[in-house]
Amino acid sequence: MLMFRSLSIQKKSEKKAKIEALKLDEASEKGLAIWLLRLHDVLQVYMDDLMPHTLTEYLYHLACQFNLFFRDCPVIGSSQEEGRLCLCELSSKTLKLGLNLLGLKTLDRM
């Protein structure tokens, strides 16, 4: 669902994601951003220890954090739309990368 929600938001918006417009005011925005920053560490453990469950747990919790963000932070039409679009884009790209590393194909639409 994360990928479909995120891609849907990105398609509906007339604006482009801008990292410099990102302001982390809401707790769920901060939580999602922190979770996205953990990717490097998770991938390092995944590669060093060859334990795919570390990556699957990370992706599960990323999806949970995105759902909290989606619930709490309107994207389209908000004053922070460009920054929040950036969080959406990073979330969907991160999930796609993780699923591809696990050998799972992703879809752009349901």
- Condensed to tens digits (0 to 9), the pLDDT of residues 96-105 reads 999 999 999 8
Residue 17: count other Cβ atoms within 10 Å of its Cβ: 18
> Which domains, and CATH codes, for the chain?
2-7+27-101 (1.10.730.10)
pLDDT above 90 for 59 = yes
Supply the pLDDT for residue 5. Answer: 65
Residues 35-48 have pLDDT tens digits of: 999 999 999 999 89
DSSP code string of 30-91: HHHHHHHHTHHHHHHHHHHH--HHHHHHHHHHHHHHHHHHHHH---TTSTTHHHHHHHHHHH
Length of the chain: 110
Supply the pLDDT for residue 2. Answer: 60
